[in-house]
A = this chain, B = another copy of it.
Amino acid sequence: MSDSTAMTRRALLLGVGAAGGAGAMFAAMGALGLAPDAQEKAFVPPQPSDFALRGRGAAKVVVLGAGVAGLTCAYELGKAGYDCTVLEAADRVGGRNLTLRAGDRLTEKDGETQTAEFGEGTYFNAGPGRIAQWMVTMDYCRELGVPIETFVNNNASAYVYTRGMTAPARARTARADLYGYVAELLAKATDAGALNRRLTKDDRERLAEFLRRFGDIGPDLTYRGSTRRGFETYPGVTGGVPVGAPPSLSDVLAAGTGRALTMDFGYEQAMPMFQPVGGMDAIVTALVRAVGRDRIKTGARVTGLKNLPDGVEVAYQGGTIRADYCVATLPPHLLARLPHNLGAPITAALRTPVPVAAGKIGLEYGRRWWEIDDRIYGGITETDLDITHIWYPSHGYHSGSGLVVGYYNTEENAHLYGELSHRDRRSRALTQGKKIHGEKYRTELRSSVSIAWQRQPHIEGGWVYWPSHQGAFTLLQRPAGRVYFAGDWLTHLIAWQAGAMESARKAVTELHRRVLQTSS
């Protein structure tokens, strides 16, 4: 269908809708061949208007929560012609997609309020910080015109530090040693005939060739170190000064660097990853612009939710709203506490997923010492200290300042930090990070902000985990009357914005199909 034809048909339908109500509109759509195929299950990669072209709905929808799930619902429903209102308890939009900049205030449930005192241009992605290539988040960035840049999730020059090590090592060094010894062990076992029953002669030769590449082992199959370990002085006019001989095999195994080295092997964390230019909330800003800021009520905490025979009624701080349908995207543990008439099984289901604590601290420095002194440009230092990770920024390279994430931890460690005042979190994070980066890690600090997601009002958790994907998880995939549920918590992409978006797409697809079927 050409654009002009589409315009004509849409103009016609809008006219019908305005004159004859939704029923007349949907009848006309069927006549024009625009009603969606009920068998159609999956979204095609989004292009502007893909969703809208499958038919338009005139129903009124109230969306609970202006996080990524809620905003995606309102955006997709809006494209399809729905009249949406989004209710958000906080005085800001975005939910866990939170980017803090100079002057931003962050209040915790017990009342402590921090104010970010960052310099111009510094930002802190307090929530999600990275996107995988295959995630639908990338499509929304493309569709909404949110510029993206590479997020460095793994850096051979970053450090690995475990309590089994006497000093931090570069990731490249730890990797060279582990791979070197693994190659040696397997090459020698193969050479000694230990695998002759499993491997043909061709297999053994090919394996040996791979192991030489993989471990950089010598012709005698022994690992003695390698230029892959890095250099004290890198090659230039001269051949460079390598960092020296590797520790013994026992010491390398005892260091326990395996978790750090394999952290990006999975499908969620593999390199490269991506981030919006200027802060993760660029996605929120673009969604809000597309939805229309006037459709979003902030400071509107929901206090009651009722299914009615012909619609829903939502009470909130400041009023009551009636609509044809509701999509509830609040965290399940908050929905479970909301007075509603959806029935006890729904409440029980909402109580099933377990909130997980998660915390981060943003440490702003007036000098990018990690680039200048350590030659680390982006990436993550992995450690078994309670800070778990140190993230270096993947943007603003070579600029005058920058923000390091001094911890990003979950569960026990997140509770440990979360129970401290910001001052004490900072102090603890600096004490730990100093073990890796030395005194400058403390002395050069300019400002900091920390977040404990389990203590964030209206959110109360980093994410949830499900004891099982049966039962409650399945029940909440279906609407309770006219109330649909959506959020990353209803997917297999928990803690990812892509989960929120995929769940939103599923909910609005089903809602839309129902509207079209009801109306035709």
Interface residues of A (CB under 8 A from B): 42, 45, 133-136, 138, 141-142, 147-150, 152, 154-157, 172, 175-176, 178-179, 182, 185-186, 189-190, 192, 194-195, 198-200, 202-203, 206-207, 209-211, 213-214, 216, 227-228, 230-231, 233-240, 249-250, 253-254, 256, 258-259, 261-262, 264-267, 270-272, 274, 372, 375-379, 394, 397-398, 469, 477, 490-493, 498-499, 502-503, 506
Contact = CB atoms under 8 A, between A and B. Distances in A.
B152 A272 contact: yes
A458 to B, nearest CB: 24
Contact of A378 (B150, B199, B490, B499): B150
A168 B239 CA distance: 38
Given A157-B270, A239-B469, A239-B492, 19 more contacts: A133-B157, A133-B377, A149-B149, A149-B150, A149-B397, A150-B152, A178-B210, A182-B211, A185-B189, A185-B198, A185-B199, A186-B186, A186-B189, A192-B194, A206-B253, A228-B265, A235-B492, A235-B493, A271-B271
B172 A274 contact: no
30 contacts: A42-B233, A133-B155, A134-B375, A138-B377, A147-B398, A149-B150, A154-B271, A156-B270, A178-B210, A182-B214, A189-B194, A189-B195, A199-B249, A200-B250, A203-B250, A209-B258, A213-B258, A216-B265, A227-B267, A228-B265, A230-B267, A231-B267, A235-B492, A235-B493, A236-B498, A236-B502, A237-B492, A271-B271, A272-B378, A274-B377
Contacts of A274: 377, 397
Contact of A238 (B148, B194, B207, B492): B492
A274 to B, nearest CB: 7
Nearest to A143: B398
B492 A210 contact: no
Nearest to A208: B253
- Which residue of A42, A154, A214, A477 has the most chain B CB atoms within 10 A of its CB atom? A214
Contacts of A209: 258
A138 B397 CA distance: 10
B155 A272 contact: yes
A231 B270 CA distance: 13
